Structure 1
Amino acid sequence: MLGIITQRYKNNSILVGEAGTGKTAIVEGLAQLLAIGAVPDSIKGFDLWELDIPALSNKDISDGGYHFRIKKIIEEVKEAKNIILFVDETHVILDKESELDAGDLIKPALARGELRMIGSTTDWEFHKYIEQDKALVRRFQKCTIQELNRESTIRILKSRKRALEAFHGVTISTKAIDAAVDLSIRYLPSRRNPDKSIDVLDKACALTRLSIDSMPKELKLLQGEINTLLSDYELEENQEEKTLLEKEIELKKPHYDNLVKEWEDQKAVLDFLGKIRMELSKIENSLAVYDKKDVVDQNDINEVDALNSRRETLEGQAAQLKDAFYSKANLMIKDVVDVDEIQKTIESTTGIPVSDLTQSELDRLKTMDIKLKRRVIGQDHAIKTVSYAIKRSRLGVSKTDQPIGAFIFLGPSGVGKSLSVHEPIATPDRGYVKMGHLKVGDKVFDKNGKPTKIEGVFPQGDREFRTIILEDGRKLNADLDHLFSIRIGRSKKLQTLPVKEIIGLLEQGKKVCIPTSNAIEYYSGSMDDVESLYFAVGKHTKQITNAIKFTKLNQRIDVLRGAFDHYGKFDKDRFLFQAEGNEQLVSDIRELLFSVGVQNRIVSKDTIEILYKDKDEVFNLIGSKKLRDQASISLTHKGKLKDPGFVQVKEISKSSFVEEAVCILVDNEEHLFLAGRDLVVTHNTELVKALAEVQFGSEMNMKRFDCGELKSISAVSRLIGAPPGEDKLDTGGEMTEYVKKNPYSLLLFDEAEKAHPGIFDVLLSVLDDGRLADSRGDMVDFTNTIIIFTSNIAAQTILRGQDLKTGELPPEVISVVNAQLRNPDPEKGGKGFKPEFINRIDSNVIFYSLKRADLEKIANIKLMALKKRLSKNRNIKIVYGRKIAETFKDESNPQVDVAWLLSSQYKLPIEELDLGGRPIDRLIVKEVEDPLTELLLEDGVPDGSFILVEATYPHGSKIYIDEEGAQRPVPPIVKLSVISEEEYNQKIVLDPVEAQFK
């Protein structure tokens, strides 16, 4: 560039290179050379001006406006004759379609040599805005700036080391510089050196400085413990508990004070070291000026000697301080930026784990299969295939120039956490809607009472449910895998755990709490006669209508005021709603209270207590002066809620029941929504996100593409961006932009066979090289992604070919599945993929339908539900017969019982195998419930009786001759009989259904 601007003619240069390659830094370097005169004679004494485009484009036209200002600057430059004009982002003033276009003003001065100019822009913008104007291009000499290689970048970082150390007050190790360059090259491929490496090192220094200035983690934890103890001490009313808390505080406080003093002393030493570095940096800058001088005199020599002497003294002093500081034990802070800090910076920037494997992470990798099995039931082979790909990548075994894994998922998937289809869910526009009636696009409420959109609805078939009972009396039915955000004991940290693990915590005596909800606001339902709402609840009111329940928030509060004026009362410091003999009204008022964000609990069938945060919350529910006067006397200042915002889980039922289930995916970062009429805070789910959560730390680290929307070749633009000139909004590609922002994530292409073949041609580069150029020419890195394609291809082949005993596919069936996958020709009945695409897939992962053992478990769950229904409704006790030997099997090998009979595969049409447990329902009705109905009717079985339901063989021969003359075993049948209580007590011990639930 220096050679171009010193030419006699065409002395205008334009620096073209990708962002971050150092274009602006080159110009800044020229400015420094001009300042000290270290340039050729032809430009000595020149000034370098940078054009401030934002200031020039000010809308004020009192001075003539933007174009007048540009003309004035050009005139000044022409008159001065010793000015070089620098325009960063040059394309901004040379875009003919822009209001800021000044090309026609600049070209004449450039052509006559009256203007010496340096511009900078990117390759893309040079091509789009400048290269098209041939006359303009002739006036500039293009200077291409390539990205620096590793060695050159390291040299630049070393040259900036002293300045960064002085600015941040830290020490940068040589290894940290090497790591900053190497890790930024590997993990920040979409950015360019030296910019990205400088940013990484700068950020690592800033984080190290922050760790010095911020209270250390162990101190924060101790401070939090003391604050919690102080808060508990203030709220505690029991004197013995107060004394114990006071002793604990007295024990921890001195230790905390000593640690604070130690931290402050250590920080003072590092701050002093920082001041020394700052002075050393100033000395280095002064010496650099003298080094570049062409002529030096004796005064300069004396000054240089003094500076060198001072530098030597300061460096010795700094070395002594550091040695003394780091020789101490139990250091709480440090000022060294090392490889660990660089790795943490890369991790925080990209989300990609690059640190050395810790023991906890090794344990996490070892237990990955277990975590996945919690989310994906009965698919051990699929889980093993995927988890090994992740483990290979993290342990450094797999290639680093390809995605972590690329899989095609075939066949039915497993099941996820879910709620009953009958569970009422509050919606902003439709009131309560059953869970099973929700659709994609509907809205429910999040924890904060704000509407949140449903992005996915996933039927789960029949599931085993438990009832979660909260301390305030609310209940919610959820399956064992359903998640709740919980707080354990005194910890303030929220964890997300499934119901089955929460059961374990409760059994250990742990205190488990879930968040409470805020007030919700419905879209519609406003009642015109607001005043009448106050009187809507009178002494003879039996219930609150839905028309009132779904009114606006302030109107619901008016209803509650009317209700409490009639039924409210104070019992010491308790504020009660009591409607004797009117349970329905109490239930409705309780519902309304939760909808306005007021916590309450059941005292008795016709009484509820308000759990208030403060007196104002109660006064908001009171209209009459009489009740307000009582409130002023009765209410405490502290409020009834010791832990506002949370409610304790009292118990989870030991008994279970089976119902059809569904899960939903909602669009909010917390994954929480309100379920049930009492608005319990619970989790949403999406089955296919199990892997994203386990591997990438969050279910949100997944991007799903519905391939039904990628049926045309034009959909390629959706993935990588529109061609130049077509993307008016410059939004880029949906896939490439997502991976740029989330390099460590999962990409899901759902129902891949529906996409246009051209989509897979584009993805070949991703699968092969782990990278892909978007429409702008930017290279996007995919080496830290997992790519999954789901497909229904060969679904019937998998279903029909599955071995009925093992549940797996024979080799010959797998060959047929692979052939169908590799047949892309529609004329030959194919819906598959090209061989070059299939060959780049790591594995075809087959999800099998339920095995016989799974179906037996489902049958037992449903048989238990029948047993409980009959016991509840008529006090009739059912016992299921013990297992017996199968026909032609040795008597010592029992296996046949009612569940086995129901789940026998030959009893089910092959097309229904993928329906899970629903065919079992029909079989139970036919084989058990219908005969049971006949027994109860014809034999007049009274309430309180005992009935045996057993699988047995008919009397007579166990062989029959079929239509073709072949001998066949006689299948077992279900037999029902009334037995005595004594017989029941003997048989219940051997009941196989009861055994499954022990």
Structure 2
Amino acid sequence: MTLDMGSVVAGTKYRGEFEDRLKKIMDEIRQAGNIILFIDELHTLIGAGGAEGAIDASNILKPSLARGELQCIGATTLDEYRKYIEKDAALERRFQPITVDQPSPEEAIQILYGLRDRYEAHHRVKITDEAIVEAVKLSDRYIPDRFLPDKAIDLIDEAGSKVRLHTYTIPPNLKELESRLDDIRMEKDSAVQSQEFEKAAALRDTEQKIREELDITKNQWKEKQGRTDSEVTPEDIAQVVASWTGIPVSKLKEEETERLMNMESILHERLIGQDEAVKSVSRAVRRSRAGLKDPKRPIGSFIFLGPTGVGKTELARALAEAMFGDENAVIRIDMSEYMEKHSTSRLVGAPPGYVGYEEGGQLTEKVRRKPYSVVLLDEIEKAHPEVFNILLQVLEDGRLTDSKGRVVDFRNTLIIMTSNVGADQIRRNSTLGFTAAIDSGADYTNMKDKVMGELKKSFRPEFLNRIDEVIVFHSLEQKHIAEIVTLMSEELRKRLREYDVDFVLTDKAKEFLAKEGYDPAFGARPLRRAIQKHIEDRLSEELLTGGVSKGDSLLIDENNGELTVVKNGNISTESES
């Protein structure tokens, strides 16, 4: 028999009423003699009914438990047992604690086989053996904050209801028949009103035929609803897991396979050059999506090194856009905010007793909410060395415990760290690749060796040893800058669409901007400033003064070291300053 403490306490208005109810229950159990009392959430006994000095439920039950008049089984969690039951040593002594561990995946599968009939009868669907195995496997791997068999049962339950709801969807042919019937009724009524009785009679016969066909189709659909031939398949389970966690675990569709195989070209639409970096992250994503990555580690962990402005952060944004359709889907942590030792705790949350304890960690909370994401740790050399001690477990085991003791799963994240380590040496030494006269291959190898040497000085071996790959970005050449001009002008074109203004850059104008914006030591950022100075500033003035109006199309060209803007046949010249 189950004792519901909430029902026993409910409605007790006067002192002694609760005790009287509990005493009657105990007397009934004693008289029956063959009842085992089950109390779910055993910790609710502590303090139940004990207001203003009255005896609570636990103290009422203690004598009967000690004398053996009650056979009682209680269920509670380890945390609540420690918090409530262990504080009352007399009550704890009257119960023998038995720890019930989470069943193994094999045991969970057998439990689900036993429950299958109930869920099949409830949802009126057939649950296949493969779906049960998939529910246990996927829940064990992708839902870490809950336990078997509960999370696998919930997957089966939700997948069953989803499949069942699909059978309630009105089929398209039924909707079409209903629509045709409505049209013919309206046409018939119109014919009667205009006294076209022969036409109305013909329409009446057509209406009768369609109604009969509609009734047959509707009966077939209802009969199909009543049958249990709908099946819950592994793909249904995978779709539910994907909707819960945001992790794509369903089978690869043809268009997604094509996109994964073309990941390099997709990333190169936003990032010019840097073939090694693009290939490395693309391989990691493909390995993860195909299900061949190490299940105990993150999808991939990379350190991007190299000169400033060559696309290290841009690659992380491009990858987020390629994977999720939104470049803002990246979880970005600016490591310059963690320069002091005490700020390190912000990653996992402030310890108890400190301000911000309830808020959670900057890193752990974001990954808990979005377990499938790109994590960008920008400018890691700016952070305090203690930060890297926190990251050791993330990189090796894909897990991190936050300040509240919750284990956060990083196994479905792609971790990218960017750094400018060695950039000072790169700028000082022209032989590292910033002069066009040197061979670019030897130049890159020289730069890479120097930067890797600086990296080993800056970070501990146990941290570097856990990184999947360290990628040194190439310095940008003149030809790369010319391609980046096209990308940046497209961004400006998108902004101008708000004003319904368009422009075209001639090849000469692109060459002019590429030359003005090329500085090997600073990458692509000088180009952004050149476009800002030569185009954006001029167009903003024209928009404010009315020189450029809605619907205008502009041609931007170069003439004698100056940019010219041609609009509706009028030429205005921008002089170089």
TM-score relative to the length of structure 2:
0.69
Once the two structures are TM-superposed, the CA of residue 752 in structure 1 deviates from its matched residue by 2.3
Pick aligned residue for 2:243 from 336, 343, 348 = 348
Q: Secondary structure at the match of 1:743?
A: coil
Structure 1: gaps (5+ residues): 1-46, 227-255, 275-333, 417-457, 459-685, 824-831, 866-878, 882-896, 926-946, 951-973, 976-998
- Mapping of residues 23-102 of structure 1, within 5 Å: 47-52=1-6, 56=9, 62-64=13-15, 71-82=19-30, 85-91=37-43, 94=46
Residue in structure 2 matched with residue 199 of structure 1 by the alignment? 154
Contact 2:517 2:526 (C-alpha < 8 Å) held by counterparts = no
Contact 1:94 1:129 (C-alpha < 8 Å) held by counterparts = yes
Rounded Cα–Cα distance in structure 2 between residues aligned with 1:353 and 1:918: 36
Q: Secondary structure at the match of 1:406?
A: strand
Contact 2:159 2:236 (C-alpha < 8 Å) held by counterparts = yes
Task: Read off the aligned partner of 2:450 and give its amino acid letter.
Answer: V
1:529-588 per-position Cα deviation (integer Å, ceiling 9, x unaligned): xxxxxxxxxxxxxxxxxxxxxxxxxxxxxxxxxxxxxxxxxxxxxxxxxxxxxxxxxxxx
Residue in structure 2 matched with residue 755 of structure 1 by the alignment? 383
Q: Secondary structure at the match of 2:3?
A: strand
Q: Secondary structure at the match of 1:142?
A: coil
* CA distance 1:822–1:262, change in 2 (3 Å): farther
Once the two structures are TM-superposed, the CA of residue 180 in structure 1 deviates from its matched residue by 1.4
Contact 1:713 1:758 (C-alpha < 8 Å) held by counterparts = yes
Rounded Cα–Cα distance in structure 2 between residues aligned with 1:259 and 1:820: 80
Residue in structure 2 matched with residue 412 of structure 1 by the alignment? 308
Rounded Cα–Cα distance in structure 1 between residues aligned with 2:338 and 2:38: 46
Once the two structures are TM-superposed, the CA of residue 210 in structure 1 deviates from its matched residue by 0.9
- Mapping of residues 469-480 of structure 1, within 5 Å: none
The reply on whether 1:835 has 2:461 as its aligned counterpart is: yes
Pick aligned residue for 2:433 from 798, 802, 808 = 802
Contact 2:434 2:521 (C-alpha < 8 Å) held by counterparts = no
The reply on whether 1:816 has 2:447 as its aligned counterpart is: no
Residue in structure 1 matched with residue 222 of structure 2 by the alignment? 268
Which is strand-richer, 1 or 2? 1
Task: Read off the aligned partner of 2:245 and give its amino acid letter.
Answer: T
Q: Secondary structure at the match of 2:411?
A: coil
- Mapping of residues 310-459 of structure 1, within 5 Å: 335-410=230-305, 411-413=307-309
1:866-899 per-position Cα deviation (integer Å, ceiling 9, x unaligned): xxxxxxxxxxxxx999xxxxxxxxxxxxxxx985
Contact 2:309 2:522 (C-alpha < 8 Å) held by counterparts = no
Residue in structure 2 matched with residue 915 of structure 1 by the alignment? 525
Task: Read off the aligned partner of 2:423 and give its amino acid letter.
Answer: A
Rounded Cα–Cα distance in structure 2 between residues aligned with 1:703 and 1:101: 53
Residue in structure 1 matched with residue 319 of structure 2 by the alignment? 691
Residue in structure 2 matched with residue 764 of structure 1 by the alignment? 392
Q: Secondary structure at the match of 1:917?
A: helix
Once the two structures are TM-superposed, the CA of residue 818 in structure 1 deviates from its matched residue by 1.8
Task: Read off the aligned partner of 2:253 and give its amino acid letter.
Answer: T
What's the RMSD between the two structures over aligned residues?
A: 4.8
Contact 1:770 1:782 (C-alpha < 8 Å) held by counterparts = yes
Once the two structures are TM-superposed, the CA of residue 349 in structure 1 deviates from its matched residue by 1.9
Contact 2:368 2:409 (C-alpha < 8 Å) held by counterparts = yes
Once the two structures are TM-superposed, the CA of residue 206 in structure 1 deviates from its matched residue by 0.8
- Mapping of residues 248-647 of structure 1, within 5 Å: 264-274=218-228, 335-410=230-305, 411-413=307-309
* CA distance 1:80–1:738, change in 2 (3 Å): farther
Contact 2:481 2:524 (C-alpha < 8 Å) held by counterparts = no
Contact 2:41 2:76 (C-alpha < 8 Å) held by counterparts = yes
Residue in structure 2 matched with residue 928 of structure 1 by the alignment? none
Contact 2:123 2:164 (C-alpha < 8 Å) held by counterparts = yes
Once the two structures are TM-superposed, the CA of residue 793 in structure 1 deviates from its matched residue by 2.6
Once the two structures are TM-superposed, the CA of residue 691 in structure 1 deviates from its matched residue by 1.8
* CA distance 1:159–1:855, change in 2 (3 Å): closer
Once the two structures are TM-superposed, the CA of residue 85 in structure 1 deviates from its matched residue by 5.0
* CA distance 1:844–1:158, change in 2 (3 Å): same
Rounded Cα–Cα distance in structure 2 between residues aligned with 1:150 and 1:84: 31
* CA distance 1:180–1:920, change in 2 (3 Å): closer
- Count of residues in Structure 1 that have an aligned counterpart in Structure 2: 486
Residue in structure 2 matched with residue 854 of structure 1 by the alignment? 480
Task: Read off the aligned partner of 1:400 and give its amino acid letter.
Answer: P
Task: Read off the aligned partner of 2:459 and give its amino acid letter.
Answer: F
Once the two structures are TM-superposed, the CA of residue 841 in structure 1 deviates from its matched residue by 1.2
Rounded Cα–Cα distance in structure 2 between residues aligned with 1:915 and 1:773: 39
Contact 1:94 1:102 (C-alpha < 8 Å) held by counterparts = no
Task: Read off the aligned partner of 1:802 and give its amino acid letter.
Answer: G
Rounded Cα–Cα distance in structure 1 between residues aligned with 2:27 and 2:511: 103
Once the two structures are TM-superposed, the CA of residue 715 in structure 1 deviates from its matched residue by 4.9
Contact 2:46 2:58 (C-alpha < 8 Å) held by counterparts = no
* CA distance 1:403–1:915, change in 2 (3 Å): same
Task: Read off the aligned partner of 1:755 and give its amino acid letter.
Answer: A
Q: Secondary structure at the match of 2:331?
A: strand
Contact 1:94 1:101 (C-alpha < 8 Å) held by counterparts = no
Task: Read off the aligned partner of 1:272 and give its amino acid letter.
Answer: G
Task: Read off the aligned partner of 1:757 and give its amino acid letter.
Answer: P
Rounded Cα–Cα distance in structure 1 between residues aligned with 2:302 and 2:166: 42
Q: Secondary structure at the match of 2:278?
A: helix
1:506-549 per-position Cα deviation (integer Å, ceiling 9, x unaligned): xxxxxxxxxxxxxxxxxxxxxxxxxxxxxxxxxxxxxxxxxxxx
Task: Read off the aligned partner of 1:347 and give its amino acid letter.
Answer: A
Residue in structure 1 matched with residue 410 of structure 2 by the alignment? 782
Rounded Cα–Cα distance in structure 2 between residues aligned with 1:687 and 1:257: 61
Rounded Cα–Cα distance in structure 2 between residues aligned with 1:725 and 1:898: 60
- Mapping of residues 170-249 of structure 1, within 5 Å: 170-215=125-170
Structure 2: gaps (5+ residues): 181-209, 493-505, 536-556, 563-577
Rounded Cα–Cα distance in structure 2 between residues aligned with 1:836 and 1:804: 36
Which is helix-richer, 1 or 2? 2
Once the two structures are TM-superposed, the CA of residue 341 in structure 1 deviates from its matched residue by 1.5
Rounded Cα–Cα distance in structure 2 between residues aligned with 1:923 and 1:376: 23
The reply on whether 1:845 has 2:471 as its aligned counterpart is: yes
What percent identity do the matched residue pairs reach?
A: 35
* CA distance 1:405–1:105, change in 2 (3 Å): same
* CA distance 1:781–1:265, change in 2 (3 Å): farther
Q: Secondary structure at the match of 2:97?
A: strand
Pick aligned residue for 2:113 from 141, 158, 169 = 158
Rounded Cα–Cα distance in structure 1 between residues aligned with 2:106 and 2:336: 48
* CA distance 1:160–1:838, change in 2 (3 Å): same
Residue in structure 2 matched with residue 609 of structure 1 by the alignment? none
Contact 2:264 2:282 (C-alpha < 8 Å) held by counterparts = yes
Once the two structures are TM-superposed, the CA of residue 355 in structure 1 deviates from its matched residue by 2.3
Once the two structures are TM-superposed, the CA of residue 382 in structure 1 deviates from its matched residue by 2.5
Residue in structure 2 matched with residue 147 of structure 1 by the alignment? 102
* CA distance 1:714–1:109, change in 2 (3 Å): farther
Rounded Cα–Cα distance in structure 2 between residues aligned with 1:143 and 1:736: 33
Rounded Cα–Cα distance in structure 2 between residues aligned with 1:813 and 1:219: 67
Task: Read off the aligned partner of 1:63 and give its amino acid letter.
Answer: Y
Q: Secondary structure at the match of 1:409?
A: strand
Contact 1:408 1:788 (C-alpha < 8 Å) held by counterparts = yes
Contact 2:330 2:375 (C-alpha < 8 Å) held by counterparts = yes
Q: Secondary structure at the match of 1:141?
A: coil
Q: Secondary structure at the match of 2:116?
A: helix
Contact 2:128 2:233 (C-alpha < 8 Å) held by counterparts = yes
Rounded Cα–Cα distance in structure 1 between residues aligned with 2:90 and 2:355: 27
Contact 2:400 2:407 (C-alpha < 8 Å) held by counterparts = yes
TM-score relative to the length of structure 1:
0.42
Q: Secondary structure at the match of 2:415?
A: strand
1:130-181 per-position Cα deviation (integer Å, ceiling 9, x unaligned): 4355444333321111011122211111111111111111111112111111
Once the two structures are TM-superposed, the CA of residue 95 in structure 1 deviates from its matched residue by 8.2
Once the two structures are TM-superposed, the CA of residue 838 in structure 1 deviates from its matched residue by 1.3
